[in-house]
Amino acid sequence: MTRHRLPATRENVVNVFDRDTPPVLTVDPGDTVVVDSLDAAGFLEPMRTPHDTGPTMFEGRIGHCLTGPVAVRGAAPGAVLAVRVGSLEPGTWGWTLAGGRDTPLNRRLGLADGPETGLLWDIRDGTATDGRGRTVTTAPFLGVIGVPPAAPGPHSTLPPRAEGGGNIDCRELVAGSTLYLPVTVPGALLHLGDGHAAQGNGEVAGTAIECPMTTEVTLDLVEDPPVPGLHAETPEGRITFGIDPDLDTAAAGALDAMLSWMCVLFDTDRRTALALAGGVLDLRVTQVASAAYGVHAVLPHGALRTP
């Protein structure tokens, strides 16, 4: 198995998903890649103020600044790509913006009008500290891990997608996690970025503590996964996802997928799986920051034991 390094240079970054973008690196299944990514906005140096306008990797803001795509030999539509996260090292600075955008949530909170409020963060030794000394414990992860849609042409990086993942924004995908992505295009064409030093479930401000990140991932192909579609194994437990513009539909999708997984794990039928889930399963709002809401179902390791 080979270890690769992929820096966040201009040749290695994009801000859209497009199946026709040539890969910047091609690896074999089982290879490890150490990936550098800029913050979501692609700043080339630490921001000086919460409303800094540059310099950035791209002129204007189209989508997340992502590193890739990385092709995996042998990956083809219908397969599943396993992205095993070995380590995540945030940069030394980060930012958060809130309010000032006309979204349904901001309107409900009375914060859609006026300027965005911004915070800058100093990140070091497992904490992030803002300009007034308020401190958050970091738990770094990547907001975007995904492959392009099968349809040709450029696609926004902003919405998460049930097929291929992308801007999932799941705070559980910390080091030690494996995300399973349905392969949508030949080679898979994995994109990584949108580093978050910390985020609560929901990403309620519309941003987290956005930061550059260095991520080590091992990429592999999986045959006969226990459930179809997007799912994960994390240090906390097994996770399935629901993604939809309607939050209730997203929740039902996450639960539906987890019941299928529980049927395999515990050799039972769906009605019994639902009864078992009632005592141990968590439904968590992944994010309400994008056009499609996310919900993830979490089955903690060891919560349900068999004889």
Residue 155, CA distances (Å) to 64, 87, 152, 230, 288 in order: 12, 28, 9, 19, 20
State both tokens at 8: 């966040």
CATH superfamily of 3-222: Acetamidase/Formamidase-like domains (2.60.120.580)
Domain with CATH 2.60.120.580 in the chain: 3-222
Residue type at 12? N
pTM, two decimals, is 0.96
- Residue 29: predicted pLDDT: 98
| Consecutive H or E run containing 71 | strand 66-72
DSSP notation for 97-165: EES-S--HHHHHHT-SSSPPEEEEEEEETTEEEETTS-EEE---EEEEEE---SSSS-B-SSSEETTTE
- Residue 231: predicted pLDDT: 98
- Residue 42: predicted pLDDT: 96
Fold category of 231-300 in CATH? Endonuclease I-creI (3.10.28)
Residues 21, 24, 30, CA angle at the centre, nearest 5°? Answer: 115
Q: Report the distance separating Cα 20 and Cα 148, nearest Å.
A: 9
Contacts of 122 (CB under 8 A, 6+ apart): 92, 93, 128, 129, 130
According to DSSP, the β-strands at 93-98 and 25-27 are: unpaired
Residue matched to tokens 């000032």: 100
- Residue 50: predicted pLDDT: 87
Q: What is the pLDDT along the chain (307 residues), one digit of tens a residue?
A: 899 999 999 999 999 999 999 999 999 999 999 999 999 999 999 999 988 888 999 987 789 999 999 999 999 999 999 999 999 999 999 999 999 888 889 999 999 998 899 999 999 999 999 999 999 999 999 999 999 999 999 999 999 999 999 999 999 999 999 999 999 999 999 999 999 999 999 999 999 999 999 999 999 999 889 898 999 999 999 999 999 999 999 999 999 999 999 999 999 999 999 999 999 999 999 999 988 999 999 999 999 988 8
- Residue 62: predicted pLDDT: 84
Residue type at 20? D
Q: Report the distance separating Cα 203 and Cα 184, nearest Å.
A: 27
Domain with CATH 3.10.28.20 in the chain: 231-300
- Residue 200: predicted pLDDT: 98
- Residue 306: predicted pLDDT: 83
- Residue 135: predicted pLDDT: 98
- Residue 115: predicted pLDDT: 86
